Amino acid sequence: MHPDMKPLFLPDVEHNPKPSTQAEVIRLMQNSDSEYPQILHLFAYKPEATQHLTRFTREVMRGHSPLTDGFRELIAAYTSARNDCAF
């Protein structure tokens, strides 16, 4: 594990990724001791819920809208900053 990373509160979640793109990325990052965002563990744990979240995110961020993609990402980044969520 990359020295800057700490284990998740939930080891079962961290160590039981289901077959998914995210699980593949986690494996590659771990094999090269790279730092990676641990939201990947959450995504890989419940692919069933993740696919709905992904579809929702794609629609709300990239779907048809009078707001530009850039402005929508700024809303997401601004809200995340207010929530003190660095990722």
Partner 1 sequence: MPHIKLPEGLPGISGLMVCRPETSQPLNELAQALLRANNTLSTSDRELVAAYVSSLNECHYCRSIHGAIAAHHLQGDEKLVSHVTRDYSSSAISAKLKALLYVAGKVWRGGKHVTADDVQEARKHGATDQDIHDTVLIAAAFCMFNRYVDGLATWQPQNPEFYRSRGALVAEQGYLNLKREPISLVD
Cα angle at 22 between 56 and 15, to 5 degrees? 120
- Of the candidate residues 52, 71, 74, 77, the single one contacting partner 1 (CB under 8 A): 52
- Of the candidate residues 55, 73, 77, 78, the single one contacting partner 1 (CB under 8 A): 55
Min dist. Cβ of residue 9 to partner 1 (A): 5
Residues contributing to the site for partner 1 (CB under 8 A): 9-13, 42, 45-46, 48-49, 52-53, 55-56, 59-60, 63-64, 83-85
